[in-house]
Amino acid sequence: MNTRTLLADAVARLEAAGVASPRFDAELLLAHVLGVPRGQVSLVDVSASSRAAFEELVARREKREPLQHLTGEAPFRHLLLKVGPGVFVPRPETEVVAGYAIDALASMVSPVVVDLCAGSGAIALAIATEVPAAVVHAVELDRAAFEWASRNVAGHAVTLVRGDAADALPALNGTVDLVVANPPYIPMAAYESVEQEVRDHDPALALWSGEDGLDAIRVIERSAARLLRPGGVVVVEHADVQGETAPAVFASTGAWQSVRDRPDLAGRPRFVTASRA
């Protein structure tokens, strides 16, 4: 079986299984097995052992195991993060959230930053590598996710602590310049509509957030109000259907000014920003 036929068979199998991007996934899995860039898979001879390894990965992807779990990696801005079972796989939408935070920090001198829901460490590490002057703290409660974040931030200027966003880092109260978070925000009522890869493989603690999906965002609002100095900035991701309800969490408390919702690159409501009054 030549490479073209091998890929065509894999694409057909993944498409039949309901995978959203069957050709991309098949090519990336083969590139992963061969150790070459995805664009070069058709130029490399596939040995019997590589073919067997590829077939095994395709079979796992057919069962809707996340692509990133199979490769062990997830791209995020300029980073390539280590991911796997037990940690939320960072999404492209969150890159926009991190980008806003990075831009907001550009005019600050040695800013103090807190990421309250670190997960894989994606946002905290992006800030630390793109804003070298920043003093970055990251908080993660889940043990498995904390271990993944520890691997990703190792050797970088990120202080990672295991704790609850509700009461973490009390020594920093009133001194932080920017708080950022990608908290859980899916309501339990939406369980059946969530794609299988997410529902079955991302950790529950990173997904579900009460009946309206806002429970964790309410916690973030209170903690951000506690941590930030006057004029400090909060940046919080939310679901695209929460473009009004998430900002309302901040606007209703009196602790914030300039509350505004902002879109992702597709124009969908994606994150709320505000300044500490």
Q: How far is CA 115 from CA 51, 66, 178, in A?
A: 42, 25, 9
β-bridge mates for residue 150, sequence order: none
Residue 211, annotated as binding a ligand:
no
Say how far apart CA 105 and CA 112 lie, in whole Å: 9
Residue 183, annotated as binding a ligand:
yes
Say how far apart CA 111 and CA 11 lie, in whole Å: 47
Say how far apart CA 146 and CA 158 lie, in whole Å: 13
Say how far apart CA 20 and CA 6 lie, in whole Å: 19
Strands 228-237 and 269-276: antiparallel
Helix, coil or strand: residue 163: coil
- Of 245, 220, 249, 248, nearest to 235 by C-alpha is 220
The residues, any chain, with a CB within 8 Å of residue 77's CB and separated by 6 or more, are: 95, 98, 99, 126, 130
Q: Residue 199: how many CB atoms within 10 A of its CB?
A: 17
- Of 133, 129, 254, 116, nearest to 179 by C-alpha is 116
Task: Give me the half-sphere count of Cα atoms (radius 13 Å) on the Cβ side of residue 6.
Answer: 24
Measured in whole angstroms, how far is the alpha carbon of residue 92 from the centre of its chain? 8
Kindly state the DSSP code that residue 72 receives in the 8-state scheme. T
Residue 140, annotated as binding a ligand:
yes
Binding residues: 140, 182-185
Instruction: Name the binding residues for S-adenosyl-L-methionine.
Output: 140, 182
Q: Tell me the binding residues for substrate.
A: 182-185
